[in-house]
Amino acid sequence: MKRKILTALIVFVFISGFSSLKATDLNGKITLSPKGKPYGHGSVLLRPIEEEYYLKADIDKEGNFFFKDLRPGKYEIKMDLFALTPFEGEIEIKDEETIERNFSITL
């Protein structure tokens, strides 16, 4: 009986720990300057710092991209833009935010 209670308690604590991390959304738009015309070719990549995997969002024809349910932390952001110089940077995701990051690419 004690073992079942201990197991249930461990499972509860484990699940509670994951639910305390609130997810965040990141969206944005890629435009070409100086006219601000949307750039709808390519993708945006996010990699959590100190991790080996990437998350990918395709850029739609209006230049928009969207990531849903990101965990808080620092991410490397890369843009693979067809026929243009790639962009790289870093972004910090905080708890329970909707973040909008727009990028203007100079030709």
What is the set of domains in the chain, with CATH numbers?
22-106 (2.60.40.10)
pLDDT tens readout for residues 17-37: 444 456 789 999 999 888 889
Instruction: Report, in angstroms and rounded to the nearest whole number, the Rg of the chain calculated over CA atoms.
Output: 19
> What confidence tier does 106 reach under pLDDT thresholds 50, 70, 90?
confident
- The dihedral built from the CA positions of residue 39, 103, 22 and 45, taken in this order, carries a sign that is positive
pTM over 0.95? The answer is no
Q: Is residue 104 within 8 Å of 31, Cβ to Cβ? A: yes
Annotate 55-69 with DSSP letters as a single string: EEEE--TTSEEEEEE
